[in-house]
A = this chain, B = another copy of it.
Amino acid sequence: MKIIALAGGVGGAKLADGLAKILLPEDLTIIVNTGDDFEHLGLKICPDLDTVCYTLAGLGNPQTGWGRADESFNALENVRQLGGPDWFGVGDRDLGTHLERTRRLREGQPLSQITRDFCKAWGIGPTVLPMSDDSIPTIVLSDEGELPFQEYFVHRRCEPRVSGFRFQGVETAAPAPGVVQAMREADLVVICPSNPWVSIDPILALPTLKSEIESLPMVAVSPIIGGQAVKGPVVKMYQELGIQPSALAVARHYQDFLSGFVFDQVDQDLESEIQQLNVLTLCADTLMTSPTQRKRLAQDVLKFGTLLMEK
């Protein structure tokens, strides 16, 4: 069974890691959002790609979910002392990634090739692909105008009120080499519990990918549990867009693509409403607070996916 996982940052990385622990490396392709990518201190930073890779490599910081374990912040401390921009909390080990990636990009290497090489160096088995080698920056439409994603997310701490999103250049962007091929070979697409608006929508907005994906069974895992986000601004975004934040809202969000939907047991009362969207449901323990729980949720999702494929 060949699986494609669509992932954003921390939550997506956790489920991707769970899937990586139970699938053969050749059976798992993780397609990662690059809409959050930005340039900082002259370096190209790909927060979601890095979170996924660090997590899969076992190099991630288990406390934060992003960044590196055993990290130091000496470069940033000096930048701060020199009056430079210190709002993005980049660690020293992490800096090595951005430095080497930026160096290679300037040499003309595509992001997908660089990511492949990095995965090899870090001993990551499954294929990790950026959604595109093209730049598709996510722009947050807000009451303070249009904001580049990291400006909104990190620098402004998600304070501006959101009114929509724009994935700049997505209409003419191509999926990264390998994405369409993986889609054609896949048996199932898993949408990891990432932010639907800014982690998964940018991937689904790629025209070529969209047309490929529609023919595949797709199961999504809700990032909203009991009306709350495990992490990040997803609940605030739903509210500001005038939608009651819930697992049901997430299911509605993906409605056009969805075969199955996985939501947390605390939301069991929403099950019949979700089923009315004409999707099969799995009520499970979706909170991944330990590596064991990542693996267990991945198993539940795959078992559920197998049922979907048989339908």
Contacts and interface: CB of A to CB of B under 8 A. Distances in A.
Contacts of A242: none
B81 A121 contact: yes
Interface string A46-85: 0000000000000000000000000110111111011111
B100 A84 contact: yes
Contact of A41 (B72, B93, B103, B122): B103
A108 interface: no
Given A42-B42, A83-B117, A77 B99 contact: no
Contact of A74 (B71, B81, B122): B71
A106 interface: yes
A254 interface: no
A41 B78 contact: no
A128 to B, nearest CB: 14
Given A75-B75, A75-B96, A96-B76, A82 B41 contact: no
Given A41-B99, A100-B84, A106-B42, A93 B78 contact: yes
A246 interface: no
Contacts of A94: 78
A77 B93 contact: yes
Residue picked from A41, A78, A103, A117, most chain B C-beta under 10 Å:
A78
Contacts of A118: 82
A168 to B, nearest CB: 22
Nearest to A122: B81
A136 B76 CA distance: 29
B72 A96 contact: no
Given A79-B100, A100-B41, A92 B121 contact: no
A150 interface: no
A34 interface: no
B106 A93 contact: no
A70 to B, nearest CB: 8
Nearest to A99: B41
Contact of A99 (B72, B79, B93, B122): B79
A102 interface: yes
A121 B81 CA distance: 6
A94 B78 CA distance: 8
Contact of A83 (B82, B106, B121): B121
A121 to B, nearest CB: 5
Contact of A82 (B42, B75, B76, B96): B96
Contacts of A173: none
A200 to B, nearest CB: 28
A95 interface: yes
6 contacts: A41-B103, A42-B43, A77-B96, A82-B118, A95-B95, A95-B99
